[in-house]
Amino acid sequence: MEKFGKQQHRLKMKNQNYGYRLNDAVIRLYSHNELIKPSDSFANNITCYRTSSNSFNMAKLKIYSTNKNEVALKHLNLDKWCEKGDWSLWKEFFNNRNVEGGKLDLLMGLIWAIFDESYKTRQMIYLYDPHGYSGKSVMLDALSEPFREIDAYAVYTESSSNNFTNERLWDKRFLAIPDNKNPKIVKYGRFHQLTGDDAIDVDIKNRRGFTVKPEAKLFGVGNILPEVDLDAKHETSRIAIFCLKLNQAAYKQINHEDGTTGDATFGFRLKQQLKAFLYECREVAKRINPNKCDFNVGILEEDVKKCAEPKLEYFNDFIMNNIEFEKDAKTTLAELTNRYESYKKVNMNLWNGLGKPELGDFKEHLQKLKDVEYKHSKRGMAFIGMKLVNVTQSSQQVTTETDTIKPDQQAIELLNKMRNRDLKGVNGVC
């Protein structure tokens, strides 16, 4: 920074923010050898301008706005990014991946809600493609470009051990998950905070922390399916999962006769049509969600159910064969753990490919399904309202002589039943 002048006066502005008036002075700020406006520097580093009493009032300052006359940290000019025109490449892209009709309308509406802050939605968009090479990451990159220009973009990663993660996320609008590897992403506390209009604590190294309500929207893509408990409304209401399934036209576009794969120009061409696509997204959002609240994702339920059902079926099968519910009955955690692990070993052929239906997931499912309390007892943690029943030889059998596991006929029949029901989610495909 270069500063020339004689006098500098600190004053309180009408909007209660603090600034500087410089008499006979010129201020030049440089970032990466580029001249920037002092006002931009102030906005981008506003957490530095706090009083010693921690009195900076975030409630009166929006993080993201599309209204240029509104005080906010990040401004996006929608007129710059919306223009009626040809968006055929985007439409072809989604249609060739089983996203068409009502599903395409829903996706376009959700995308527009990321750009227009007047839509009070909390739903994360998630594109699931088990095979890869579908172009979903390239599409995500194209959609994020407007937010990159205003420094309102960040890559979201869940790190419960890092106390400073929120410092990187709190002032962003578009949080992208370019290649999700975490099947439990929907279950983390930070995810619920960011999608639930909750305040988060922002810890900053060597500075005073603060609390703020983020205005971020999440958009994830991945080759794994997030674990969503269909019995838990707080999970199903926070995510809209679109299962991509490439048709023959898409495969021909990706796989070339010379053996090469992909399209190096695809991303560039998508960005060329981005303005036209966003224009159509705006029109669709107006039509399907005039109240600007959470979107109706009912059209996606069957696809999601097919993917999530195998694990839930496994849990329910265990309950049917091992548990009875009685008001005053009690089962300790140790007892349930022993029974569950034994059952899992015997029926390993059933749960292979379902993710890993671990005990912690089962406990959550159990408590949501039935009126069961989980609390301290004389023998440790226990479930009140249920008891373990004697397991029949046909449902659970462990060989004691050789200590090896032999799946019984009932397990084999159940496995064949699941396979014949076209539950492709068992193999990680939907």
Higher pLDDT, 170 or 50: 170
Higher pLDDT, 29 or 210: 210
CATH of domain 79-296: 3.40.50.300
- Residue 11 φ/ψ, nearest 5 degrees: -140, 160
One-character DSSP codes across 190-230: HHHHHHTT--EEE--TTS--EEE----EEEEEESS-----T
What's the confidence (pLDDT) of residue 28?
Answer: 62
Do residues 79 and 88 touch, judged by C-beta distance below 8 A? no
Q: Cα(192)–Cα(198) distance, rounded to whole angstroms? A: 8
Mean pLDDT, rounded, for 360-388: 79
Mean pLDDT, rounded, for 369-378: 76
What's the confidence (pLDDT) of residue 327?
Answer: 83
- Tens digit of pLDDT for each residue in 55-103? 455 556 689 999 988 888 899 999 999 999 999 999 999 999 989 999 9
Q: Cα(97)–Cα(135) distance, rounded to whole angstroms? A: 10
What is the helix (H) or strand (E) element at residue 382, kind and residue range?
strand 380-384
Give the predicted TM-score (pTM) of the model.
0.64
**pLDDT band at 345; cut points 50, 70, 90:** confident
Q: Apex CA 327: angle with CA 312 and CA 381, to 5°?
A: 70
Q: Apex CA 223: angle with CA 147 and CA 316, to 5°?
A: 120
What's the confidence (pLDDT) of residue 393?
Answer: 39
Do residues 306 and 424 touch, judged by C-beta distance below 8 A? yes
- Residue ranges of domains in the chain: 2-71, 79-296, 308-427
For the stretch 336-368, what's the b/e string if a residue is b when 16 or more beta carbons lie within 10 angstroms of its beta carbon?
beebbeebbebbeebbeebbebeeebbbbbbee
Most confident of 133-142, 287-296, 327-336: 287-296
What's the confidence (pLDDT) of residue 122?
Answer: 87
- Torsion angle of C-alpha atoms 251, 419, 221, 363, degrees rounded to 10: 180
- Which tokens belong to 225? 């399916």
Mean pLDDT of all residues in the chain? Answer: 76
262 pLDDT higher than 50: yes
One-character DSSP codes across 340-357: HHHHHHHTHHHHTTS---
412 pLDDT higher than 70: no
271 pLDDT higher than 80: yes
Helix and strand numbers, DSSP H then E, in the chain: 16, 19
**pLDDT band at 311; cut points 50, 70, 90:** low
Picking from 215, 195, 266, 180, the residue whose alpha carbon sits closest to that of residue 72 is 215
Mean pLDDT, rounded, for 307-325: 77
The residue type at 22: L
Helix axes 274-288, 136-149, angle to 10 degrees: 90
- Residue 69, SS3? coil
- Tens digit of pLDDT for each residue in 109-163? 999 999 999 999 989 999 988 777 788 889 999 999 999 999 999 998 765 445 6
